[in-house]
Amino acid sequence: MTEHLAVDGGTIAYEVAGAGPLIVLAHGMGDSRAAYRAMIPSLVAAGYRVAAVDLRGCGESSAGWPDWSRTAIAGDLLAVIRHLGGPAVLVGHSISGGAATIAAAREPSLVTAVVELAPFTRKQSIHLGDLRVKRFRRGMLHLLGAGVLGSVPQWRAYLDVAYPGVKPADWPERLGRIDSLLREPGRMKAFQGMGRSAPTDAGAQLGNVHCPVLVVMGSLDPDWGDPHAEGSAIIEALPPGTGRLEMIEGAGHYPHNQFPDQVVSLVLAFLHSDAARA
């Protein structure tokens, strides 16, 4: 059941399932909380209370906001955690990975651990080697088309690259839902606003995160020429011993959609580790 939380500037939609320690799930741009539909039942069965959130401008959250930065998104996620009686484990995908970093640095008492899935958490730069990678060239071309032109077909073309090989069983329905949401008033503006927001605010906070951090990258993620190198750079920017990197072979930019069982296993093993329990 959808619930709504009023925050400064609008309302944030979310839904909660299960009972136990709180896990908050935040999706990437151009998406909705449905991105975690395949993970939620397993996390609930493992004994967690799971809150899946629609980011500002996305899903069933209100559409018009003055700020699309990771810092603003972090504020929304912290508001949800407070409202639900936190603390929480915060899981963020792509832009929300950066937001989770900021939230953990700003309010360490509210965030016990962070999981970042294919996160944009550092200042990005394109190297000559990246341009030699076909999937990177294709992905960036479609991303630019979607962001600059506000093109839903270009976003769908990007998603085809971002889900290499394995697609979810309900892919046609999922794609149709994403398409219809982005055509609602204000949703493409939100998409473009998030796309223009630089991850430098998140990168500046990496050294201030002191809870355990798990970074999960797909080996075929088209958003980077070398996904492993990007994940490693995030770990290196965290305080020593704070983070760990896991790679999922064959996954693109949406490992939680392509290989939900594998991602759940990684998350649960991480949360049961000595570092996360400390």
| Record: fold of 3-277 | Rossmann fold (3.40.50)
pLDDT tens digits, residue range 31-60? 999 999 999 999 999 999 999 999 999 999
Query: Collapsing DSSP states into helix, strand and coil, what is residue 70?
Result: helix
pTM: 0.94
Say how far apart CA 92 and CA 184 lie, in whole Å: 24
Say how far apart CA 56 and CA 49 lie, in whole Å: 22
Closest CA to 269 of 251, 235, 241, 246: 246
Query: Collapsing DSSP states into helix, strand and coil, what is residue 46?
Result: coil
Q: Going residue by residue through the chain (278 aa), what tens digit of pLDDT does each one get?
A: 899 999 999 999 999 999 999 999 999 999 999 999 999 999 999 999 999 999 999 999 999 999 999 999 999 999 999 999 989 999 999 999 999 999 999 999 999 999 999 999 998 777 777 778 888 899 999 998 998 999 999 999 999 999 999 899 899 999 999 999 999 999 999 999 999 999 999 999 999 999 999 999 999 999 999 999 999 999 999 999 999 999 999 999 999 999 999 999 999 999 998 655 55
Q: Rounded to an integer, what is the distance from CA 15 to the centroid of its chain? A: 17
Q: Which amino acid is at 168?
A: P
Say which residues have a Cβ less than 8 Å from residue 160's Cβ, sequence separation at least 6. none
Q: Are 54 and 13 in contact (CB under 8 A)?
A: yes
DSSP 55: P
Q: Which amino acid is at 98?
A: G
